[in-house]
């Protein structure tokens, strides 16, 4: 059983990074791996079937409704951006873009925040290097902020689902109460970094450009993918429960924090499904989740907003890594120290 789960974990960690087809069909791949993991550990039950069918509904409905709303306001938003930027100034606008999208992502979802970001970047028309930096910083912020509520992104949805029973009885605001101070301060730091970048920027007609506009078919397909994605992660989390109980619950929290840097090459919700469980202490949960959330912004595959923004704006992996690696590692070090001290 342990050997089988180890093989599945290796496949889940490596194949999306190595094979483009797996990355493109990540939801189906993870769903299959989830089915296999539950099967080889003999954990099928009606309760699991019910949970895997119903638990993804909240975030799926939020994604669908937010997608429809964004489609309706897309044109007015674009028309009024010029007025907003002129009144605020580019420097303040970028600061607010990073901070506001980060904080709002817990309500409007990380996916919709990423779509808004793409629209904003289309409008700004700065030089390409500056725009890439803004995109990466904002995606870090979105990934952080979306973790505050269970409708923000799959990571928080899965975390709440795994901790909803005793001893934590996690409710809608559990992650806000547990991680809010760390996440909010990190988002503000990212906004400040963004203002420093703007000082060196210049207007250009050769910046990033969205390669495809949203339509209703895109919204519907994305909604179905999100549902399947969250369902797959619930199955994976259940399948990996034996490893969590036997090994991860005994891992020192400071080591768990750095182990989770692997979420830079895999969506961090997958690792949340594999790691988080009621047998972990609150300290372990804090270190584990912050390690996952922060490092999820380092590379494109690490988080949903990264994947959406990079795909729509045609940002290459190397271009992302140039800013993602130093920013991510710096935040990891800073918050590791803070977690130890507080």
Joined together, the tokens standing for residue 326 give 């130093």
pLDDT confidence band for 316 (50 / 70 / 90): confident
Q: How far apart are CA 147 and CA 102, in angstroms?
A: 10
Q: Cα separation of 226 and 267, whole Å?
A: 13
Three-state SS letters, 260-311:
HHHHHCCCHHHHHHHHCCCCCCHHHHHHHHHHHHHHCCCCHHHCHHHHHHHH
User: Distances from the Cα of 179 to the Cαs of 39, 186, 193, 220, 253, in angstroms?
Assistant: 34, 11, 21, 32, 15
Angle of helix 268-275 relative to helix 216-239, nearest 10 degrees, comes to: 30
pTM above threshold 0.85: no
User: Residue 22's CB: how many other CB atoms inside 10 A?
Assistant: 17
At 106, is the secondary structure helix, strand, or coil? helix
- pLDDT digits 0-9 by tens, 21-50: 886 787 788 899 989 999 998 889 998 899
pLDDT value at residue 138: 97
What local confidence, expressed as pLDDT, does residue 311 receive? 76
* Mean per-residue pLDDT, 221-235: 82
What is the signed CA dihedral for 316, 302, 66, 227, rounded to 10 degrees?
120
pLDDT digits (tens, 9 = 90+) for 270-284: 678 778 888 888 888
Q: For residues 186 and 76, what is the distance between their CA atoms, to the nearest angstrom?
A: 31
Q: How many domains does the chain have?
A: 1
- Pick the more confident residue, 256 or 338: 338
Distance CA 308, CA 196 (A): 25
Say what the pLDDT of residue 58 is. 75
Place of tokens 């791996």: 33
Residues of the domain holding 121:
2-341
Are 224 and 53 within 8 A, CB to CB? no
CA distance 281 to 273: 16
For 136, which DSSP code? H
What pLDDT sits at residue 188?
Answer: 97
Give me the residues paired with residue 126 across strands. Answer: 203
Q: Which of 79-88, 122-131, 151-160, 265-274 has the lowest mean pLDDT?
A: 265-274
């Amino acid at each position: 059983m342990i050997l089988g789960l180890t093989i599945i974990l290796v496949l889940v960690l490596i194949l999306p990074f190595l094979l483009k087809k797996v990355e493109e069909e990540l939801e189906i791949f993870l769903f299959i791996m989830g089915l296999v993991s539950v099967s080889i550990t003999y954990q099928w039950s009606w309760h699991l079937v019910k949970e895997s069918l119903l638990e993804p509904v909240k975030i799926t409905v939020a994604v669908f409704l937010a997608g429809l709303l964004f489609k309706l306001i897309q044109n007015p938003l674009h028309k009024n951006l010029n007025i907003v930027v002129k009144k605020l100034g580019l420097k303040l606008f970028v600061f607010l873009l990073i901070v506001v999208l980060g904080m709002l992502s817990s309500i409007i979802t990380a996916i919709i925040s990423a779509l808004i970001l793409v629209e904003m970047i289309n409008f700004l028309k700065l030089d390409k290097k500056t725009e890439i930096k803004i995109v990466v910083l904002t995606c870090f912020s979105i990934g952080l902020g979306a973790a505050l509520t269970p409708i923000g992104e799959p990571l928080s949805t899965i975390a709440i689902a795994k901790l909803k029973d005793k001893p934590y009885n996690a409710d809608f605001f559990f992650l806000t109460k547990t991680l809010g101070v760390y996440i909010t301060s990190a988002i503000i730091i990212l906004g400040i970094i963004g203002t420093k970048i703007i000082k060196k920027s210049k207007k250009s007609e050769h910046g990033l450009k969205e390669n495809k506009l949203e339509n209703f078919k895109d919204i519907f397909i994305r909604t179905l993918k999100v549902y399947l994605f969250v369902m797959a992660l619930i199955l994976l989390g259940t399948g990996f429960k034996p490893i969590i109980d036997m090994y991860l619950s005994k891992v020192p929290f400071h080591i768990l924090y750095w182990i989770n840097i692997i979420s830079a090459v895999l969506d961090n919700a997958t690792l949340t499904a594999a790691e988080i469980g009621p047998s972990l202490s609150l300290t372990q949960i804090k270190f584990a989740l912050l390690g996952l959330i922060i490092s999820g912004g380092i590379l494109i595959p690490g988080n949903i907003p990264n994947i959406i923004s990079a795909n729509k704006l045609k940002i290459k992996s190397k271009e992302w890594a140039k800013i993602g690696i130093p920013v991510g590692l710096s935040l990891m070090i800073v918050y590791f120290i803070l977690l130890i001290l507080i």
